[in-house]
Amino acid sequence: MKKSLFALAAVGAFAGAAQAQSSVSVYGIMDGSYTATSNESKTTASGATTTVKGRNTVNGDGALSTSRLGFRGVEDLGRGLKAEFVLEYDLVNIGNGGNGNDISVAENATNANAAASGTQSGFGARYSWIGLSDAKIGSLRLGRQEQAVFTVLAGMGLAGAANNIAGSIYSAGSTGSSPNSASIRPVTVFLNQAITYISPNISGVQVTAQYSSNAYEANSTTKNNGARETGGAITYSGVKNLQVGYAIALQDVDVAAVTAAAASGTSDTVVGVTAASTKVTQQVIAANYDFGVVRPYVNWTQIKNVSSGVVARDQSAYELGLRAPITPVIGVWASSFFGTKKTAANSATLAATTTGNADLRGMQLGATYAFSKRTTAYAIYGQQSVKGKDAAANTEIKSLGYALGLRHTF
């Protein structure tokens, strides 16, 4: 009897130990703000000026950070090997209680069961990957992940981090609750159906290799359509307080499939892709150094779009920034970017990312107040412009935005 009880206790203890080695955690961000935006398209030759303004109370997209809900799991498999997964979703508009992506008119027209345009189609997709990791040999991840070029840019080169207000090279485009008509974002952020290898950190050096044969698929029945992407990064943090990184993404685009997918609302937008593009190259160099009283940031980005051997868009820009702690709970930052955009054939019609040669400019100011480690109040102001040159010299696109908000992480 005593032996049986002892054996039962031993099994229970082993089961408890095994159970303790596996964990799933819930995390997220709730970010709400009063956000005001203004977009202006100006043609001085005709004297006509078009201005579009917007106001958003409790913008749930998040001005400082995108609101999100995530699940992270880790299981210790023994001998240093671990299984991992991450599922993360956008909380698109917490102010209205609507979470997920708006159903587009085009998508609604192709789906008889879809609700009316403007309703929500569920949580917005962010991360969805599973993988294995080992401290000695590195990590392997399968699924929807962030691009290596985005990791380096957002993680090392932005004084304002990856916030969603105009004035930074990263600032998002003209959709959503914080429209920015002058957006010239050089990276795509997420990569579908990706295979990513991340090496161990050896003397401060870490290497990432990434591939997807179907980065931006049209739909579930045409898995081979879309864009192939090969990319990677190398980062260095071997010197105290210093971070430096380089990343590249090479996209080979099936234009017909991507265009059809975008029209039906079933794929992500491929940054830099136009109706005639076949290959896109994205590059990022980023660095920062913490002096204690201030941390300077710098990044260089390039996006080149080549169609049938002709460069359709060649854009490069530099962004410089400073971030400083004023007190233990107050922080401020300032940044500015400048660059140029060249297109195959200049045009009297200027677009932010396609037609017309242009000079690119932007600046941003921000401040945060930490009530605690998890709750932060913030204020952000930014503006940017795409100013035409040569044939498009009399045209300019401007975007301005500011936000006052509160963010809580959990």
The tens digit of pLDDT for each residue in 199-229 reads: 999 999 999 999 998 765 443 334 445 678 9
Q: What average pLDDT does range 108-123 have in this prediction?
A: 44
Residue at 260 is within a domain: yes
Give the mean pLDDT of the chain: 81
Inform me whether the pLDDT recorded for 335 exceeds 90.
Answer: yes
The CATH number for 124's domain is 2.40.160.10
Residue at 86 is within a domain: yes
Residue at 49 is within a domain: yes
Q: What average pLDDT does range 39-58 have in this prediction?
A: 65
Max avg pLDDT among 3-7, 190-194, 388-392, 405-409: 405-409
Residue at 19 is within a domain: no
Residue at 15 is within a domain: no
DSSP string, 73-130: EEEEEETTEEEEEEEEEE--BTTTTB-BPBPPHHHHHT-TT---TTSB-BSEEEEEEE
Residue at 216 is within a domain: yes
The number of distinct structural domains making up the chain is 1
Q: How far apart are CA 280 and CA 191, in angstroms?
A: 14
Residue at 14 is within a domain: no
- What domain range includes position 206? 24-409
Identify which of 345, 352, 338 has the alpha carbon closest to the alpha carbon of residue 388: 352
Residue at 235 is within a domain: yes
Query: 247-267, pLDDT tens digit by residue?
Result: 999 988 766 655 555 555 555
